[in-house]
Amino acid sequence: MSAHPLNHSPISYRVRAELALADLGKLREAAWGGQDDGSWWKPVLERSLTWVTAHDGAALVGFVNVAWDGGVHAFLLDTTVHPNWQRRGIGTQLVRRAAEAARTGATQIGQVEWLHVDFEPYLSEFYAGCGFQSTAAGLLRLK
């Protein structure tokens, strides 16, 4: 991430674009911590309905993935914005563009009717601002 957020170019968004998996790993590391060399993303993206990336010039600064059950349900996963680019509306744009891509892409492959998202309570306001409604849901931790 060589670009400095104060000297940024306009953010561009790409739907289902090719991306360097190592760059995606670096973005995830910056946003969430841990180590990610990008290698585990290949099988994830191969099974995804779509994804959206955000770029400041050549720098990958945001990502969101849309998984799909093959039927009417899609799932928003891994909404990520590099910490240096947060609080600029990039996350909201990623989510809105992912929803639109799922909606329009669905006409080619079936009828996706629902977009689900799980999130921590502190993100409730963010996802409500993206148009999501809260629902009762269950969660079972497997590990």
- Residue 58: which pLDDT band, with cuts at 50, 70 and 90? very high
**pLDDT at 2 (0 to 100):** 47
- As a whole number, mean pLDDT of residues 26-30 equals 96
- As a whole number, mean pLDDT of residues 94-99 equals 96
**pLDDT at 22 (0 to 100):** 96
| Residue of 129, 25, 118 lying closest to 87 (CA atoms) | 129
> Which residues, 6+ apart, have CB-to-CB distance to 142 below 8 Å?
none
**Dist CA 58 CA 43 (whole Å):** 24
- As a whole number, mean pLDDT of residues 109-132 equals 89
**Dist CA 48 CA 91 (whole Å):** 19
% the chain with pLDDT above 90: 69
Could you report the per-residue pLDDT of 39-49, keeping only the tens digit for each? Answer: 989 999 999 99
- CATH class name, domain 9-129: alpha beta
Could you report the per-residue pLDDT of 81-90, keeping only the tens digit for each? Answer: 999 999 999 9
**Dist CA 16 CA 67 (whole Å):** 12
Where are the domains positioned within the chain?
Answer: 9-129
**Dist CA 50 CA 6 (whole Å):** 30
